[in-house]
Chain A
């Protein structure tokens, strides 16, 4: 890491030609990953990521440079180079003071203190449970990864923080084979904490759950095609809000008028029963952090309250463009990326109905028990995501499983078509990719119903 005086020096040098904001992001990260295939440990890698990103802004123009070489001369040379894009004016020197720091994501067992062989035991526990679940399971792939990322974030407004982010995650893929066809089941539990996480979850149950999904799907027929009511279950089902609406509420797309939600602040954009939140402060949650990657404290931001748009997710630069304050949403994958507004843990709040009641109230439709991933075009709001485990609903009851369903639609429409909201909010873990790289993001919701969505399957027309 760098000393305070070197960072101050970089910041002043970066502003020497008249930028009005400079920022330094230093990252020193230890990563570790182990993979099991065919019941055997197949790969293991341990690494050190290390680099420094320097950002200079003038008005709304941004310059970003980064390097792995932390020698002072190199950093000052780079800062000068970044500054050289702007015209010269004189500027006072910069002095930093540490911001107050309170760690709300305590870590008990640091990954670096856990032997590789102990991690192997955890992996094999998952493997055995998944493998023994059913004869149709022909392959199990288990990955375990962890990291501890130390960052220094400083800027010319005097902000200076040091933070540490430790995350652990396991990925369990189960593959069922039958008559030459293959289907997969997957779960990827993780948290912003150390290895104590694995004492809090039941690895065996999760692994069996992944296998159950694969076996259910290998025995499933194809999903129907056409428009129908869709019930999306809680936890990872929240990916629907993340894709369909969340990305459109990021200042990244709002500031340049590339979102269907631009200019809609205070307007009704969702049905009355929808309240949605982005909360980076949940202790030890996957998408949480003490500070965002611009050194701003993370916040709980209510995005939509009873259907009314209340807030975007805002980073420093897009805040300038929009004349809005940062909401602690500036995030980046690493020093290789300039930060921009991103989600942390994003979810729809609970309503009052139980899952069973929602199903009972639905005559015919699709029940999406497990969602896969998806994507969105924020400018048009068009989204797509796939259903990993789906069932047909007939006469208010869950019937046969169906595979291969994709849900498509437009974000602005789906928000208005949410007509039933359950009481079982749950949040699950995902990785979110966008212009500032891949960041850990929590997605969540209670079980909810969308009155009509286009389901893309291969079965009989409905």
Chain B
């Protein structure tokens, strides 16, 4: 059965089988990916995929999903959702009709106008430049071009009908540099909507430079250091701990921001924005996964926590309006909460000025182990890290095999300076951005 027909039949049959309200959600995508190895495309992928999720309210909400669109699956879906609704105990989920205030977003697409040869050529050019730039580059272990067109469609029994499509392209390259038996890697990525946003020379320079500057690294002495966190590290931390802003986690006692609304939770120079309309954000969308209108919001304003991120369910519980942050990773996931495009507002100091202001301390430009060494519930983190030593306002030797430890909640309060080198990271459930920041102190373990 075709997707549209399957969705309509499912919605109609749900009514017949006594679901009071119901919703059918489709996500679909087209992906293209190539990987280059020593001048040749050695991996090529091109796909079309889809999945359909059903949510129906009997007394409680029941969920089910399928990737198989045979007619006889419809009854299976309804039956599974019924069985699941019956065991639900905690559930205030509602199915809501159309809002009338969706933002009209200009469609930002273009990557699908380029043919595959152009994409392959661009990747080959970057690869060639990388090997040319420095003979210490021994290998490129990942050389990936990928793009994706994703679409969401939501229809429900209250007359809601929504569609949205998003395009994204990215290049990800990781290089291995070797000199006298010492091996280092570095990776760089760039997101784009148009191929001409990528400069093959700059891209190559960046990743090569990041790798070769790591030679002659060593640990520093253990202790407390003033720390300059590079923008990408701040993005990693913000993304890992962003679940702290979720009203769902607050209500479940899984967030340290519980009872902290309208209080100072960060230094007064910190402003955190969630902007679903941000043009450089790849979670740009006029509506959330429940069909509520997306909203621009200041989550932390001058250090003060202004709002949690809500969906319909948590908003009802807290007696506020939804902030349009309902999120569904795919047709397989239940409705949860996620930031859209969330970023720390930039300051006005250049990276060089930040280094000078630190005077003595450490630059941390890479951390590893976020999925295990950082605990979003406790806020604690202890991460494998590397960077550079700053002595007398100057960048000195390269540092590796150390860990940095601290607590995210404390870190927000310890942010003393924010730079102007703002960038956005790689999008996941949310898309995060930040400039580099200086924090008062973190514990470092090394020698």
Contacts and interface: CB of A to CB of B under 8 A. Distances in A.
Interface of A: 28, 31, 34, 37-38, 40-51, 60-70, 81-82, 85, 115-117, 120, 138-139, 141, 175, 177, 180-184, 222-223, 225-227, 253, 256-258, 260, 336, 338, 372-375, 377, 379-380, 382-386, 403-406, 408-410, 454-458, 461
Residue of B84, B141, B372 contacting most chain A CB atoms (<10 Å)? B372
Interface in B428-447: 443-447
Contacts of B83: 46, 115-116
Contact of B369 (A225, A406, A454): A406
A367 to B, nearest CB: 17
Contacts of B333: 45
Contact of B378 (A47, A183, A383): A183
B405 A404 contact: yes
Contacts of A66: 47, 49
B73 A46 contact: no
B141 to A, nearest CB: 4
Contacts of B406: 458
Interface in B329-343: 331-334
A63 B45 contact: yes
A45 B377 contact: no
B405 A377 contact: no
Interface string B349-389: 00000000000000000001101110101111011100000
Interface stretch (B8-16, B86-94, B127-135, B416-424): B86-94
B158 interface: no
Contact of B50 (A64, A68, A117): A68
B68 A50 contact: yes
Contacts of A70: 68
Judged by DSSP, the binding face of A is: strand
A313 B119 CA distance: 33
Task: Give the 6 A-B residue pairs with the shortest CB-CB distance, closest first.
Answer: A456-B403, A384-B384, A373-B372, A225-B445, A456-B445, A40-B89
B66 A41 contact: no
Contact of A375 (B184, B372, B375, B400): B372
Contacts of A410: 401
B183 A379 contact: yes
Residue of B76, B384, B444 contacting most chain A CB atoms (<10 Å)? B384
Contacts of B254: 139, 141, 175
Contacts of A455: 445
A45 B64 CA distance: 5
A383 B383 CA distance: 11
A82 B32 CA distance: 12
Contact of A116 (B86, B219, B373): B86
Nearest to A55: B45
A386 B371 CA distance: 10
B51 interface: yes
A258 B141 contact: yes
A62 to B, nearest CB: 5
A406 B405 contact: yes
